Structure 1
Amino acid sequence: MHAKIASNAAAMRRWLADAETALANHSDRLNAINIFPVADGDTGTNLYHTVRAASTAAASTEGTDLGLLLGAAGQAAMEEAWGNSGTLFAVFLDAFAASLAGHTRLSAPLLARALHRAQIRAWSALSEPVGGTMLSVLEAAAEGAAAAVSAEAHEDSNLALAAALDGAVEAALGAVVETEAQLGVLTSARVVDAGGVGLLLVLAALRTTVLGEGIPEDTLETLHGFRVQDPHIHAAQPEALGVEIMCTIQLSPLDAAVLRQRLDEIGESVIMSPVGAFDDEAGLCRWRVHVHVVDPDAAVSLIRQIGEPERVAFTELRSQGPGTSTEDSAGQITEGSRRGH
């Protein structure tokens, strides 16, 4: 039996703080192996900044309702998401929170349900979901937790929660290892997926918080490309071309579907996910939009044909690019320092 079980709101705040620390400690190695979908070497940086936004929001949110607490963290992550990997983490956390509404402690069935919901949301957020990425790792974690729950006679016990967390993290670790064989670019470089490792660190932080046991450092170093002495593999890849655009926009479900279709026609890595609740009276919902394009001006013009975007951010998809130009909701251009994927 695990010596420590902590599953209340205070524990969830510690989870996100622990995840922030883990990503800060490992961001350089995540950047080093970041070669998919573009080799711009900043997955670790982007995940760290996005998780930090979630952790900061959780720390300032009072109350014991896990859904409200993590929901606030998920919304903050969605609004402040950096890059492809950060956006997918925000989608994960926002969906994870929705399954915990009205509950004051995490249980095995709730964990399995939350991971399953997050899996569905993450896969549906992408126009062209690809296996061998964060998506595969999240799917494996959901299946690992569900299998552990179905094997436990007392689903709501601390023992069942420990088993579900163990099952989720162990399955996620196995899925990370498998990413190397699932994507040709990873196979050629002999490296695992950076985003997948990042999500594994987040899930391991949850197990550390609840059970007091994470993933041993020597286990992480068995992942191809993840040892400190390994080279920065992304630097040997062809330079990424194009610009990443991110924004928030209020749209009806129909207009959101139209925007997704049009972005699919001109760009890649399209992610669209709702931010907050649907406004029944107005028939609108806020959406977080992410896309990689060659012509950013044409893309923004297309977006503005559908609605008025806010917090528009442009990032060149290259390892050593200039700072980000960010356009606020009033249409002003300000200089930033954020980078892409």
Structure 2
Amino acid sequence: MQIKYIDGPRLLKAIQAGINHVITRKDYLNKINVFPVPDGDTGTNMAFTLATISEETKSNNNKQVSKVADAVADASLNGARGNSGSILAQFFVGFADGIGSFRRLTPERFSKAINTAKNYSYDALSEPKEGTILSVISDWAYSVNNIYEKHDDFVMILDFAFEQAKESLRKTPEKLAILKTAGVVDAGAQGFVDFLEGINHFIKQGEKDDVDTSTIAEPVDNFEVEMTDEFRYCTECLVAGDDIDRIKLKEQLMNLGSSIVLAGSKKKAKIHIHTNDPQAVFTLGHEYGTLSGEKADDMLKQQKDAHGSHEEIAIVVDSGCDLPEDLIDEFNIHMVPVRLNFGDEHHVDKVTITSEEFWHQLQTNSIHPQTSQPTQGDFRRQYQFLTGHYNNVISIHLPASVSGTMQSATLAARDAEDLPIELIDSQNGSIGIGLIALRGAEAVKSGKAKEDILKIIHQAVENTTIYIGLETLDYVVKGGRLSANKKKIANLLQINPILSFALNGINPIGKTFGSKNKAEKLVKFVSSKLPDGPYRVGLAHGNALELAEKAEHHFESLGAEKVISTEIGPALGVHAGPQALVIAIQSLKDDLYE
């Protein structure tokens, strides 16, 4: 069978075949990822980028190849994740621009479009490196250009070019020392070859089934690679504007970090950068248009997951969970961030805004902030990454009665076919979720079986009660959780409601009276509710360290086994306001203690 031209449907089917094959190779690509940083997420990022293309173009029935290529390019920018995903997106943008308005592709037109895609891929990076996906793209494009004049059959052209791409992949360690030291090929380059193999198999066999890849990449042993990048956060966002000056934007980004990839067009651009200041990146992007898809992944934590030693079960929370950073690191708890915004100023909780900055803005900014739950995509990306490094996930989140976070996590978990995920409604918030997650992480660290860990976490949910005391009701009203009339009545009667989480949401669990010493009265109230037997206390404060320290000393004097103190995060802080105090009491009479 010969193929003389490529139209829209043929292009889309071929790309889908390539996508499917890369997704089956995700875990392997994560395993061999050492460049530009060994954070073990190349497979996850490529899979996410390509899966977005698949989802957004699956109903595209356009017969014109240029229209299909444009749709693929646009979807790739929307879904681009990581260094490799952003380069792929720019490749597809270049391919679409290279096609122009043609309805069909001849081998000659295809070669020219591929060459444009290659040039776009190189132009997207501030410091292009050979021995990476760029080298394979370049060699593949060169081989297509060399053969199309001799053959007008796409089957023969793509088969020949695929063999050259494999050879180029084999040589990547010769061009990049870090690959040679680790004994692997470049992960992004391998992913691109996997993409080509899926296409090649489909064209020759008419199938999208899994194929034998043993001739391309032999299995590798685990290896240790030191984190050498001076920048901690892999930061990305999508900019939509009217006339984005990508050359100027790329020059400005060079002052903020490394591993810069700027993919896109004058209307839409995807920023990828390794930086220590994600917010500075978002602020710069905002100067060029409207931002969406802001994210900042902690590469140091990812590297520990990919190449460090850890248990086989991962604990995941959202940033509605408040817990000191040192405990999150010590117990390897993974956090999916809540997003918040003060008007047009967008932040990623606990990443692009510090607690000090949040509390300052809350009190001085005329715009009351809004929070939004992590999306299904946020959870899916986290779960996809964990798939290659853990056998099970236990995901603990804000109650379904007060947030859509559980729904987002549930939908994402359904997509994670290769990773068993247990979802738990914490029936709690702030430091309350923190204590529950910590109990689960302690059970994981003790070596308990999964079923026993789940039982202990459910016991922790039952054993943990949170008490929220507010200095003022102003912020609850601003956040829409309380009517102005009820606030007037409470102030008139000098009633200070003590709030807690229940099955139907956040409800009063008690009250104190008087306008002075509200925190001390809250502590006294909670002290009368302490359980029999061993217990620990969690404290979270709204920029009120002195109040928290007094409460800490008080509960220590009453015999608490441990008192854990931290600040209230934005998820609750936007409603609780400054000087608020949250106290969580957790009985330790469970299967782990016994």
- Counterpart of 2:194, as a letter, is L
Structure 2 matches for 1:170-181, cutoff 5 A?
170-181=163-174
- Counterpart of 1:219, as a letter, is T
Hey, what's the Cα distance between the residues in 1 that align with 2:53 and 2:244? 29
Q: Which of 202, 226, 243 matches 1:238?
A: 226
Structure 1, residues 28-75: CA drift from partner, whole Å, max 9, x if none?
Answer: 111110000010111111111111111222221121011111210221
Q: Give 3-state SS (helix, strand or coil) of 1:218's partner.
A: coil
Aligned partners of 1:70 and 1:93 also within 8 Å: yes
Q: Which of 228, 232, 247 matches 2:237?
A: 247
Q: Could you tell me the TM-score, scaled by structure 2's length?
A: 0.49
Correspondence for 2:85: 86
Q: Give 3-state SS (helix, strand or coil) of 1:220's partner.
A: coil
Hey, what's the Cα distance between the residues in 2 that align with 1:264 and 1:299? 10
Hey, what's the Cα distance between the residues in 2 that align with 1:194 and 1:24? 13
Hey, what's the Cα distance between the residues in 2 that align with 1:50 and 1:307? 22
Task: Assess, with a 3 A threshold, how the Cα gap between structure 1 residues 114 and 97 changes in structure 2: closer, same or farther.
Answer: same
Hey, what's the Cα distance between the residues in 1 that align with 2:178 and 2:118? 24
Correspondence for 2:191: 198
Hey, what's the Cα distance between the residues in 1 that align with 2:82 and 2:288? 23
Hey, what's the Cα distance between the residues in 1 that align with 2:101 and 2:183? 45
Aligned partners of 1:125 and 1:272 also within 8 Å: yes
Structure 2 matches for 1:18-167, cutoff 5 A?
18-152=17-151, 157-158=152-153, 161-167=154-160
Q: Give 3-state SS (helix, strand or coil) of 2:294's partner.
A: strand
- Counterpart of 1:188, as a letter, is T
Greater shift, 66-75 or 96-105, is seen at 96-105
Aligned partners of 2:5 and 2:106 also within 8 Å: no
Correspondence for 1:286: 268
1:192 is displaced (CA, Å) by 0.4
Whether 1:262 and 2:258 are equivalent positions in the alignment is no
Correspondence for 1:186: 179
1:314 is displaced (CA, Å) by 1.4
Correspondence for 1:16: 15
Kindly indicate which of the two structures has a greater share of residues assigned to helix. 1
Greater shift, 67-76 or 307-316, is seen at 307-316
Whether 1:315 and 2:297 are equivalent positions in the alignment is yes
Aligned partners of 1:245 and 1:291 also within 8 Å: yes
Aligned partners of 1:134 and 1:195 also within 8 Å: yes
Aligned partners of 1:314 and 1:324 also within 8 Å: no
Q: Could you tell me the TM-score, scaled by structure 1's length?
A: 0.83
Whether 1:218 and 2:214 are equivalent positions in the alignment is yes
Task: Assess, with a 3 A threshold, how the Cα gap between structure 1 residues 213 and 61 changes in structure 2: closer, same or farther.
Answer: closer
Correspondence for 2:202: 209
1:77 is displaced (CA, Å) by 1.2
Task: Assess, with a 3 A threshold, how the Cα gap between structure 1 residues 252 and 3 changes in structure 2: closer, same or farther.
Answer: closer
Aligned partners of 1:65 and 1:103 also within 8 Å: yes
- Structure 1: any 5+ residue segments left out of the alignment? 279-284
Task: Assess, with a 3 A threshold, how the Cα gap between structure 1 residues 252 and 13 changes in structure 2: closer, same or farther.
Answer: closer
Hey, what's the Cα distance between the residues in 1 that align with 2:62 and 2:206? 26
Structure 1, residues 124-177: CA drift from partner, whole Å, max 9, x if none?
Answer: 01111111001000000000001101334xxxx33xx23321232111111100
1:326 is displaced (CA, Å) by 6.9
- Counterpart of 1:217, as a letter, is T
Structure possessing the higher radius of gyration over alpha carbons: 2
1:178 is displaced (CA, Å) by 0.7
Task: Assess, with a 3 A threshold, how the Cα gap between structure 1 residues 262 and 101 changes in structure 2: closer, same or farther.
Answer: closer
1:264 is displaced (CA, Å) by 0.6
Structure 1, residues 306-337: CA drift from partner, whole Å, max 9, x if none?
Answer: 55433211111123383454758853554333
Kindly indicate which of the two structures has a greater share of residues assigned to strand. 2
Task: Assess, with a 3 A threshold, how the Cα gap between structure 1 residues 303 and 7 changes in structure 2: closer, same or farther.
Answer: closer
Correspondence for 1:296: 278
Q: Give 3-state SS (helix, strand or coil) of 2:149's partner.
A: helix
Q: Which structure exhibits the higher relative contact order, with contacts defined as CA atoms closer than 8 Å and separated by 6 or more residues? A: 1
Task: Assess, with a 3 A threshold, how the Cα gap between structure 1 residues 257 and 97 changes in structure 2: closer, same or farther.
Answer: closer
Aligned partners of 2:111 and 2:148 also within 8 Å: yes
Greater shift, 49-58 or 252-261, is seen at 252-261
- Counterpart of 1:22, as a letter, is H
1:99 is displaced (CA, Å) by 2.9
Greater shift, 204-213 or 288-297, is seen at 204-213
Hey, what's the Cα distance between the residues in 2 that align with 1:137 and 1:232? 25
Structure 1, residues 252-277: CA drift from partner, whole Å, max 9, x if none?
Answer: 767533332121122011111224xx
Hey, what's the Cα distance between the residues in 2 that align with 1:75 and 1:254? 15
1:205 is displaced (CA, Å) by 2.1
